[in-house]
Amino acid sequence: MSSAKTSEEARWLGVVAATAGVAGAIGVVGAAAGAGFVTLLKRQAAHARDVIGKPLGEEAIDADKVYRKTYGGTPVELLVLGDSIAAGLGAETKGGTLGARLAKGTAKALQRPVRLRTAAVVGAETSMVPAQLESLPESYRPDVAVVIVGGNDVTHRVPQKDSTRVLGEVIDALRERGAEVVVGTCPDVGAVRPLPQPLRSLGRRIARQLADGQRETALARGAHVVSLSDVVGPFFITNPDEMFAIDHFHPSAMGYKRTAKAMLPSVLAALGQVHKVPFGHHLPELPPEAEEPPALEDADDPDRQP
């Protein structure tokens, strides 16, 4: 068995291990039934591994550049951190990645160019995001940072308290750099069709619990939050052939288009361009007297580095 398959199997068996307690809790049907339930989940995880595979590889397209230069003026600095979704794995062109679509949408709304910088890494867990931020020059000051992470925490059985703690630290570090932050919470794992039932339902429950914890942590730290399972999850469930890439796991070009469109209101709200957000978007909970990060107008600071 290849190392790639071994790794993928370990990930899906991680979901099984994380939910094995459910079987143990079914005391009324006895230990034998519980053991049979776990065995079923392991078989389903192995099947999902074989179906998904890694046809997209492990490197996303590099889409970093200044978008819509023709608008003129100092570019808005957009930073994207997180996992394979944040990196845009599954997009077939630079312009089809999540970061590029957010950059173009933001540029159009503001009539200003946007410089995209992507530090997201395919396969990243929340614990790896601080290293992504540390890889950037100390002088780099993003106007807005988008963070999407959580799916790998679910499949790798990372305790929710550890994931949310690190997410909070990342938000604090970004705000110290003067950035507004937009967090896209853990997507709906239950939308992944290669996961059979009951594994799919169990994965969905774990992902939802993590997303809830991410939302609470992010809002308390002054970040804007987009509940991805609410704003785009239904599209992935009802239109899987269009929304998923060939691995049936990562978003397709259409999936990224929908996700970027859904996230854009919170990005614009973070930049002070809109004051009302639609369903599934959540405004930060910092009190009015809390210190606010530098406004977008400060983007003309001559000391700003690309």
Q: Residue 168: which H helix or E strand, with range?
A: helix 160-176
Among candidate residues 47, 127, 212, 247, the one labeled active-site is: 247
- Which of 186, 167, 195 minimizes the C-alpha distance to 233? 186
- Which of 79, 170, 80 minimizes the C-alpha distance to 128? 170
Tell me whether residue 139 is one of the annotated catalytic residues: no
Among candidate residues 64, 83, 84, 281, the one labeled active-site is: 84
Tell me whether residue 84 is one of the annotated catalytic residues: yes
Question: What pLDDT does 151 receive?
Answer: 86
Both tokens assigned to 107: 């540029």
The 10 Å CB-count burial string (b at 16+, else e) for 247-274 is: bbbbbbbbbbbbbbebbbbbbbbbbeee
CB count in 10 Å sphere of residue 217: 22
Q: How far is CA 92 from CA 13, 59, 109, 145, in A?
A: 30, 12, 25, 23
Q: Per-residue confidence of the chain (306 residues) as pLDDT tens digits?
A: 444 444 444 454 444 444 443 333 333 333 334 455 445 445 444 444 544 445 445 678 999 999 999 999 999 999 999 998 999 988 889 999 999 999 999 999 999 999 999 999 998 999 999 999 999 999 999 999 999 999 888 878 889 999 999 999 999 999 999 999 999 999 877 556 655 566 667 778 888 999 999 999 999 999 999 999 888 877 667 776 776 655 656 687 888 999 999 999 999 999 999 889 999 999 997 554 444 444 444 444 434 444
Q: Residue 243: which H helix or E strand, with range?
A: helix 240-243
Pairing of strands 281-282, 66-67: unpaired
Question: What pLDDT does 232 receive?
Answer: 85
Long-range residue pairs from 293-298, CB within 8 A, at least 24 positions apart, any chain: 293/175, 293/178, 293/179, 293/180, 294/178, 296/76, 296/143, 296/271, 296/272, 298/178
Whether the Cβ atoms of residue 42 and residue 16 lie closer than 8 Å to each other: yes
DSSP letter, residue 118: E
Question: What pLDDT does 47 receive?
Answer: 44
Whether the Cβ atoms of residue 250 and residue 84 lie closer than 8 Å to each other: yes
Question: What pLDDT does 50 receive?
Answer: 45
Among candidate residues 224, 248, 250, 281, the one labeled active-site is: 250
Tell me whether residue 247 is one of the annotated catalytic residues: yes
| Strand locations in the chain (E) | 66-67, 76-82, 114-118, 144-148, 180-184, 224-226, 281-282
In whole angstroms, give the CA distance from residue 200 to residue 38: 14
For residue 196, count CB atoms less than 10 angstroms from its CB and return exposed for 0-12, middle for 13-18, buried for 19 or more. Answer: middle
In whole angstroms, give the CA distance from residue 106 to residue 108: 5
The CA-to-CA distance between both ends of the chain, in Å, stands at 44
